[in-house]
């Protein structure tokens, strides 16, 4: 019997058990410090050197780079190892799905990755550790070593468009899957949130796993409010049988 293609849309709630705060939840970063949003807004970042310096300082203390995968990440990787066709579409930039064992080619990072930097001028890329080492050596706003341009994390900032190729692949997966699990996502940020609707429109079984209500709960075949670290492994074990 052919196993169903399972698409997993993962949001910030998947990584909170790894010590990475979410953004829009009750204790989310943007609710606690609205000014912090400027540090990841492209227009402010590119035009204000002080914003860039603050953004780099924030990145030095970024828990995402030292975080470890949790039970939810491991459960997704285990589903893939069990022979179920799995594709992960993640709104997260922490790389924890890959660290948990998901093949990188099966993970679409809608919002980029915090594990790399990119030059806004010549588009040169490199590991974030290299840029942070320059900070440790005294550079507060390290320029590109290739062209002298402004460096930024290889994440999609507010005011930037998603990579159209990555988004196109995500839409194709949403259209083709038989099961679509939206987990740890508020399903409020478009176009990522709309993928749940695309999947439902194409006949997929839609499952929403999130602590708070989402705009897509009414369309879901199943809504799970239990903690993600226990709910997702249980749910995925049921799918793999």
Catalytic residues, which ones?
A: 111
Angle between helices 49-60 and 128-136 (to 10 degrees): 100
CA dihedral 192, 194, 197, 203 (to 10 degrees): -50
**Helix/strand/coil percentages in the chain, nearest 5:** 40, 20, 40
E-state strands within 82-234: 86-90, 107-109, 112-119, 125-127, 151-155, 179-183, 205-209, 222-224
Burial class (CB in 10 A: 0-12, 13-18, 19+), 68: exposed
Burial class (CB in 10 A: 0-12, 13-18, 19+), 203: exposed
Q: How far apart are CA 236 and CA 241, in angstroms?
A: 9
Angle of CA points 230, 235, 240, to nearest 5°: 130
Q: Which of 79, 59, 238 is nearest to 142 (CA)?
A: 59
């Amino acid at each position: 019997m052919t196993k169903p293609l399972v698409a997993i849309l993962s949001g910030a709630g998947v990584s909170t058990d790894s010590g990475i705060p979410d953004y829009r939840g009750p204790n989310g970063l943007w609710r606690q410090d609205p000014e912090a949003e400027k540090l990841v807004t492209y227009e402010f970042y590119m035009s204000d050197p002080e914003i860039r310096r603050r953004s780099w300082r924030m990145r030095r203390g970024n828990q995402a780079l030292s975080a470890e995968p949790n039970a939810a990440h491991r459960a997704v990787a285990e589903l893939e190892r069990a022979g179920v066709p799995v594709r992960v579409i993640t709104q997260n930039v922490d790389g924890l799905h890959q660290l948990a064992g998901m093949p990188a080619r099966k993970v679409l990072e809608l919002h980029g990755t915090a594990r790399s930097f990119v030059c806004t001028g010549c588009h040169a890329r490199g590991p974030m550790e290299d840029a942070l080492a320059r900070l440790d050596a005294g550079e507060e706003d390290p320029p590109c070593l290739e062209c002298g341009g402004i460096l930024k994390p290889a994440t999609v900032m507010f005011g930037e468009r998603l990579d159209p190729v990555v988004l196109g692949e995500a839409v194709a997966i949403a259209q083709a899957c038989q099961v679509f699990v939206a987990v740890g996502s508020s399903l409020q940020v478009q176009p990522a949130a709309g993928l749940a609707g695309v999947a439902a429109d194409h006949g997929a079984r839609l499952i929403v796993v999130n602590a708070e209500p989402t705009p897509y709960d009414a369309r879901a075949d199943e809504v799970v409010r239990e903690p993600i670290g226990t709910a997702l492994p249980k749910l995925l074990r049921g799918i793999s049988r």
